[in-house]
Structure 1
Amino acid sequence: MTTELITSRLRLRQWRDSDRPAWAALNADPEVREFFPDLRTPEQSDASLDHFRSEIDSRGWGWWAVELQATSELLGMAGLDPVDEELPFTGVEIGWRLAREHWGHGYATEAARAVITYAFEVLELPEVLAIAAVGNKRSHAVMRRLGMTELETFTDPTQPPHLAESVVFSIKNL
């Protein structure tokens, strides 16, 4: 069963085919992709949407589409995923990515709070991690607003050299 998370303003839900144009535009924006290796083509964005949808279908959670309830507009994504096997630690990470026009409204923090609640209350995870490039100060600020603690700086082998220096944050299920 696919889970939806609802907040006062947002719905985190399964992806729809109608999300494809907005998701592709978000992934083609150089500011949104500043801390990712490259921009994404529409085909690459479609492939990621299909992958996210498949993971949510198979386990009930993952990278959810985030929509504004008032308008049903796709804002981006937020969710959980197991940490990449190549990283020097294990666990489940939280993440988010919003279209630039939706930055600065508290949506990332609101969505992430719902995700953390789900991770702790439903999945009963002992801890949730967040990973970001050292230079990604906007994401670091969200992590701190969520009550996450900075653990360490490390070299992420999955990223190109100019993005490899990364920080991992943690929040524990108390």
Structure 2
Amino acid sequence: MSLASCDMAELTKRLRLEPVGPDNADDLWLVHGDDEVWPWYGGTMPSREQVERWAKSMGESWRSHGVGKWIAYDRVSGEVVGRGGLGRTPLDDDWGRVYRFLPAEPWVDVAHEVPHPSVVHANWLELGWALRHQYWGRGYATEIGRAGLAYAFDVLGMRAVVSCTDRRNVRSHAVMERIGLRYAGELWSEEFEGRDGDPPMTVCVLLRREWERSSPTRAR
């Protein structure tokens, strides 16, 4: 099933999810330019030009690899609520060796059939979300996260989903737990070393077999 044939209303009731492309750069900026959001993504506010490059790259991901990020709009008001969705990790440049947190099984290292713009993992995806601060505390991140899981497992047939967040980001930790992801370990890398020398990233994982037997994590 493709995105076009998937009824997104079945994945999220309050939000309209639109695949990000160059035309969504202004809306993506509303999310990543938010003063409560950007500090969690590298510690410096991105420029408009950088966000435009992200939007272009996200659009290419949809075209080449069949999956990517969404902009989430309120179905009633049309306002931009946030950004969420899925991404494929480069096979030859796994930024934190996230595959170490997955089972030692052959499917983990299989490459996607389309080798451009980069060679990426085929059978598992990374899930994430970011909400404009005025929409925090309303359950939207949980809704976006569940939609991402449903799309990954029920539409794309993935074997696993991973999600990473700064270990101090208690809101994201709570969302991960709420939607069924389970703690798998902490990611230590000099590139992502925390401000106090702490391992900066917590990794959570959900396997397809766990998704299939755990109906509470499905979108409702």
The TM-score bracket by the shorter chain reads: 0.7 to 0.9
Instruction: State whether structure 2 residue 177 is matched by structure 1 residue 172.
Output: no
Residue 59 (str. 1) matches residue 92 (str. 2):
no
Q: Percent identity?
A: 27
CA-to-aligned-CA distance 1:45-72 (integer Å, 9 cap, x gap): 1111111122112233211111111122
The one-letter code matched in structure 1 to 2:30 is: A
How many angstroms does 1:80 deviate by? 0.8
Structure 2 residue aligned with 1:95: 128
* Equivalence map 1:71-82=2 (5 Å): 71-82=77-88
- For the residues of structure 2 that align with 1:15 and 1:126, how far apart are their CA atoms? 24
The TM-score normalised by the length of structure 2 is 0.71
Whole-angstrom CA distance in 1 between matches of 2:189 and 2:74: 33
Query: Residues of 2 paired with 1:18 and 1:71: CA distance?
Result: 20
| Equivalent position SS for 1:92 | strand
5+ residue gaps in structure 2?
Answer: 100-123, 210-220
State TM-score, norm by structure 1: 0.88
Number of equivalences: 174
Tell me the secondary structure at the aligned position of residue 34 of structure 1: helix
Which protein shows a greater Rg?
2
State how far apart, in whole Å, the 1-side matches of 2:208 and 2:175 are: 18
RMSD: 2.1
2:149 to 116, 127, 137: 116
1:125-136 matched pairs, under 5 angstroms: 125-136=158-169
Alignment map for 1:13-162 (pairs within 5 Å): 13-15=18-20, 19-37=24-42, 38-83=44-89, 85-90=94-99, 91-159=124-192, 161-162=194-195
Deviation, 1:140, is 0.4
State the SS of the aligned residue for 1:39. Answer: coil
Q: Structure 1 unaligned runs (5+)?
A: none
In terms of fraction of residues, the more strand-rich structure is: 1
SS in 2 for 1:70: coil
Letter of the 1:127 counterpart? A
